[in-house]
Amino acid sequence: DVKVTQSSRYLVKRTGEKVFLECVQDMDHENMFWYRQDPGLGLRLIYFSYDVKMKEKGDIPEGYSVSREKKERFSLILESASTNQTSMYLCASKTSGARYEQYFGPGTRLTVT
Amino acid sequence: DQQVKQNSPSLSVQEGRISILNCDYTNSMFDYFLWYKKYPAEGPTFLISISSIKDKNEDGRFTVFLNKSAKHLSLHIVPSQPGDSAVYFCAASVTSGSRLTFGEGTQLTVNP
């Protein structure tokens, strides 16, 4: 079974803090993704990576950056957290090739006060 | 520009009856479609998918129908069970791509 883990289930940070969200997958997947989930907006793609040190902007990259130094790990960075970044953050991974299913971690509920 | 839309935020059905969740898309380049289920405080889990070369795919109680001319797909759950109560997301992809585009989600409640 694919396992995607996220470093924290719940996180509370103050406005202006730098925040790191970590994601690790154990299936040697090439592709990794960061989403945020907000009520009525579904899952929106922030950034994704199709290889180590490679990254692509998703639909809402503003205010975020990412890092992928190792294949199994994909980090999301909020350089200066703001209250509108309060959300559920979901990491996912998938293999390259013909299969399209992404496997998700349990999510991190981030609250910025 | 919402390329994948789920127009019903919520749906309530009785246990044992059919649940029908709907999804519309606007991008004609999409050729692979997936449904995910999400329980509170958990990540989404893959449920069922369909390629654009098919119009139906069945897996146990779950069937997905695709109407390409209408750019519409639906997920049928028969019979519905209380454990099916969750948020269901529709997602779409292009063959050459890695990313998925998700809809807003539909909260399904199955009443005992």
C-alpha span between A37 and A109 (Å, rounded):
10
**What chain B residue is nearest to A94 in terms of C-alpha separation?**
B98
| pLDDT tens figures, B12-30 | 999 999 999 999 999 999 9
Which of B1, B99, B104 is the mutation pick for testing A, counting most A CBs within 10 A? B99
Residues 17-46 of A with CB under 8 A from B: 31, 33, 35, 40-45
Span B56-85, average pLDDT? 97
Environment class of A96 (CB within 10 Å of its CB; exposed 0-12, middle 13-18, buried 19+): exposed
Residues of B in contact with A43 (CB under 8 A): 44, 89, 91, 102, 105
Nearest to A101 among B34, B41, B104 (CB): B34
Mean pLDDT by 10 residues, chain A (113 residues): 88 97 94 94 94 93 96 97 97 83 94 97
Paired residues of B36 in beta bridges: B46, B89
From the list A102, A78, A73, A101, the residue with the least C-alpha distance to A89 is A78
- Give the pLDDT score at A2: 66
SS3 B82: helix
Reported as a pLDDT band with limits 50, 70 and 90, residue B41 is: confident
Specify whether the CB–CB gap between A44 and A63 falls below 8 A.
no
pLDDT value, residue B98: 78
Record: contact B43-A104, CB cut-off 8 A:
yes
Task: Name the closest residue on chain B to residue A109, using Cα atoms.
Answer: B41
